Amino acid sequence: MRENNEFKIDSSGELRDHLQGDCENCFGLCCVALPFAVSSDFAADKDAGTPCPNLQSDFRCGVHTTLRDRGFRGCTVYDCFGAGQKVSQDTFGGQHWRQAPESAKQMYEVFPVMWQLHELLWYLTEALMMPAAQSIYGELQAALEETLRLTDLSPDELLRVEVGLHRAEVNSLLLQTSELVRGEARRRHKGPLNPPKKKLGRGADLIGANLKGADMRYANLRGAYLIAADLRGADLRAADLIGADFRDADIRGADLTGSLFVTQVQLNAAKGDAATKLPPGLERPGHWSA
């Protein structure tokens, strides 16, 4: 295991603690580097590299507690997987874009690269905590270490990383992990399965679908479109949800226990409540109903 500055890694679980946004140690990169346009998620237009007008001198949002009321729902959904503080404190050594405007453009370009690498770290750490994937732990660990190595590169080196190629290599391992975990869960299953009549599968179009109370256990829903779907009380245990679009999906009372590759962004985009069962390591969004 290694130590990089104050970033210590002793286990996949501990590494995950560093893969969540820490705004106190970030220079407001998501509020500057990323663009947004007027839509149901944003009440205004902003170009990439232009600071949001709500960004304060201390890099905090001046309207954080009322973002949804002001039409900036997209800000409350976003999560950087810890890329913001990594770029701010490590890649650029704690020097922010106001102090060093000559490096600002490069910082803004590095941030989305780091975001993708940290997203992959989130998935890899989860895969390494799944006993059913033990047969490929060696490959998963190697991919994790390589991804970590990439996150420690200099700004110039990071901008030369072929992120798409690396994502494809990691995705191959995540696919294998999914098959192993869901296959093991199905083998251990006792009793009947009652899948919905809607066709489930990778990239399935389930926009607005009525899946209330549906038995979706062990399903492959990678990249599925679940926008505004009614998933109240649905059983999504051990379903692969990597990349599934949960915008406005109603998951009140749904069971996501053991669901594979769920992110905070997906939960933030959905509508849930106190009865929604979540995978470990994820937080119940503050805007969910009680």
Query: How many Å apart are CA 61 and CA 183, to the nearest integer?
Result: 45
Query: How many Å apart are CA 257 and CA 277, to the nearest integer?
Result: 6
- 176, amino acid identity: Q
- Closest by alpha carbon to 203, among 243, 168, 263? 243
Q: CB–CB of 244/222 below 8 Å?
A: yes
Q: Which residues contact 161 (CB under 8 A, 6 or more apart)?
A: 113, 117, 150, 153
Paired tokens of 71: 């039409």
Paired tokens of 97: 């874009």
Q: CB–CB of 59/65 below 8 Å?
A: no
Query: How many Å apart are CA 237 and CA 252, to the nearest integer?
Result: 15
Query: How many Å apart are CA 11 and CA 178, to the nearest integer?
Result: 21
What does the H/E/C string look like for 139-186?
HHHHHHHHHHHHHCCCHHHHCCCCHHHHHHHHHHHHHHHHHHHHHHHH
What are the backbone dihedrals phi and psi of residue 66, each rounded to the nearest 5 degrees, phi first? -125, 20
Which stretch of DSSP H or E encloses residue 3? Answer: strand 3-4
Q: Give the per-residue pLDDT at 12.
A: 62
Query: How many Å apart are CA 260 and CA 237, to the nearest integer?
Result: 8
Q: CB–CB of 118/86 below 8 Å?
A: yes
> What averages of pLDDT result for each successive group of 10 residues across the chain (290 residues)?
40 78 93 94 93 93 92 93 96 93 95 98 96 97 98 98 98 98 94 89 97 97 98 98 98 97 97 96 90
- 36, amino acid identity: F
Query: How many Å apart are CA 85 and CA 24, to the nearest integer?
Result: 8
